[in-house]
Amino acid sequence: MKKYISLFRIRFINGLQYRAAAYAGIVTQFAWGLMEIMLYRAFYRANRAVFPMEFSQMASYVWLKQAFVALFMAWYLDNEIFMQISSGNIAYELSRPMDLYNMWFTKNMANRYARVLLRCIPILVVAIFVPKPYGLSMPPSPISFIMFLITAILGSITVVAFCMIIYINTFYTLSPSGMRSIAISITDILAGAIIPLPFFPEKVLRIVKLTPFASMQNLSFLIYSGNITGSEMWQGISLQVFHLIALIILGKVYMNRALKRVVVQGG
């Protein structure tokens, strides 16, 4: 365990060095968040229908999504891992006295948490001071905030566990482009990164809630905004834990099978 903690610390500190990229990302995400909120504002004003989320809740959802984009977005993948597999440098990784799955998992977690630490605080602080109803609202209760933090951590681990399957699939395809594009597109839609899941048709939503994608950013953001409470919240957390364990087990089994057929050519 110590070696993985050390690896996490090294990668985390290394990720904190890219401050210029973080500053640019903060400006970009803040501008994108404002644009998205104004788009929803026009949508809310143009329709008299009853919406599944109040506009203030929608604004909070958008700000949280922008602040934690590096934590929950499936498209944030480590290109170094893809290059190691396709180039054959994976041989060096296999020679290390560490479990390959655990090592990659640790690296991905460290990279994501380093990026989100640099970006989330400035975005959240500014979003709080944006005039209502366009700004970030406070959670309805301290319990909601605590459960938001817990589910956010579990959700980020679920995202990494899902991304590990994308990495491992490259052992079979050599080129990650196809699987990467398909997985990212599906995840963005079903995890609520494009449209919050409460806006999905009821029949579709019932199915999506049972998938691992709903256990990523969707659950924690809806708990924060107060859209999910009580028994529904605990059901969502139970599913989140189930999907997390299932994805890790699946990834480890998939990794073991892939490593049995690895062929590294060259001198």
Predicted confidence at residue 193, as pLDDT, reads 86
With contact defined as beta carbons under 8 Å apart, do 74 and 191 qualify? yes
What number is the average pLDDT over the span 134-145? Answer: 89
Predicted confidence at residue 265, as pLDDT, reads 56
Predicted confidence at residue 264, as pLDDT, reads 63
Outline where 16-99 has alpha helix (H). Answer: 19-46, 55-67, 69-72, 79-87, 90-94
Q: Which residue has the higher pLDDT, 119 or 59?
A: 59
Rounded to 5 degrees, what angle do the CA atoms 187, 193, 198 make? 105
pLDDT tens figures, 79-130? 888 888 877 777 777 777 788 898 889 989 988 898 888 888 888 888 888 8
pLDDT tens figures, 149-180? 999 999 999 999 999 998 888 888 877 777 88
- Residue 58 CA to residue 189 CA, distance in Å, equals 17
Map out the domains of the chain as residue ranges: 2-259
pLDDT above 90 (res 147): yes
**pTM for the full predicted model:** 0.88
Rg (CA), the chain: 20
